[in-house]
Amino acid sequence: MRTQVGIVGAGPAGLLLSHLLHLHGISSVILENRCRHYVEERIRAGVLEQGTVDLLNDTGLGERMRREGLVHHGIELSFSRRRHRIDLSELTGGKAITVYGQHEVVKDLIAARLAAGGEILFEVADVAVHDLETDRPRITFSQDGKPQELVCDFIAGCDGFHGVCRPSIPEGVLTTYERVYPFGWLGILAHVAPSSEELIYAHHERGFALHSMRSHEITRLYVQCDPHDDIKNWPDERIWQELHLRLENDTNWKLAEGPVMQKGITPMRSFVVEPMQYGRLFLAGDAAHIVPPTGAKGMNLAVADVRLLSRALDAFYVRGNRELLAAYSATCLRRIWKAQRFSWWMTSMLHRFDHHSPFEQRVQLAELDYVTGSRAAATSLAENYVGLPFED
């Protein structure tokens, strides 16, 4: 098999990259070890920055998102039993965020690629990348028990944190930066209409909580917990009790309950590797960086990565320009580290740390009071939350 760009991974990064390359007239093949149903139903976060929404609309992917997505012009911060609204649109010149599940974006991308005749090979096994320092890198894999080989000009490693591409880079090339947080998020999907029109980020002495949503009928909720806890220790009754305690305030607002459709515990970490490229291999998305979900940056960073990579590849094929490819990692990392800073800041401001002294706990509250009381501080939060401008 032969193509211009071999893409490992059919998550949002790999699928969107293939779509953008197609618009530039560049051929690609996507290899994915899971089945299509698993990829399309894998539930992940769903807060899209303004730039992500604009890119999906501009490239013909936004029809269902515009119809079903929930546009939010603000978020709420809750602490000391009071709620404070951050008006995102007013503070950023009209920008907003859109709540639209990552799996819904994936469904739209798969449909678009297949409609355009794109090649997505699901359920492949034994994927390995070779000859990364040559001008003809290869991807070997097996499908239906038969060995296969894909020869290409470039390889895009969009295969996530546990993928094969990053470990294929020789030892000593990459520098890893990582922080593991001493807590996780217990998340549930509940079949009940959201109790708030906007997201609520709650700081509480018992730990962080988040009220989010997936649709007009489905609510997404989280509580801070021990990352090593057993989900069996969290029956539905206990989860709802904690959510009521952490989210409710001195107004008459009440959290509505409904049947729990799904629940699980997700550990939290910050992770970055530098550089994001080696020879003809380019990493994108979770293969190169992980952010705690507090800042809602994960998929948006992946979108920014592949937007830049598609433009760099277009410059190479159309004009023979290698400068954007050479600068890919450095350009991406400027945005990534800003997103890491924002996500770390939101996480440290809103979560309970067991090692925090009473002094540090009071500083947290003072930080929240400052952010919600200062236009300058609120603007900084809003600018980061709706998404910083793309870099080229």
Which are the catalytic amino acids?
72, 201, 293, 297, 385
Class of residue 18 by CB neighbours under 10 A (exposed 0-12, middle 13-18, buried 19+): buried
Go through the chain and tell me how many residues it has.
392
SS3 286: helix
Counting Cβ atoms within 10 Å, is residue 65 exposed (0-12), middle (13-18) or buried (19+)?
buried
What CA–CA distance (Å, rounded) separates 187 from 223? 7
Q: 260: part of which helix (H) or strand (E)?
A: strand 260-274
Residues 379, 374: Cα–Cα separation, whole Å: 8
Strands 175-190 and 154-157: unpaired
- Residue 178 identity (one-letter amino acid): E
Q: Using alpha carbons, list the distances in angstroms from residue 367 to 79, 177, 198, 341, 382.
A: 11, 26, 22, 16, 15
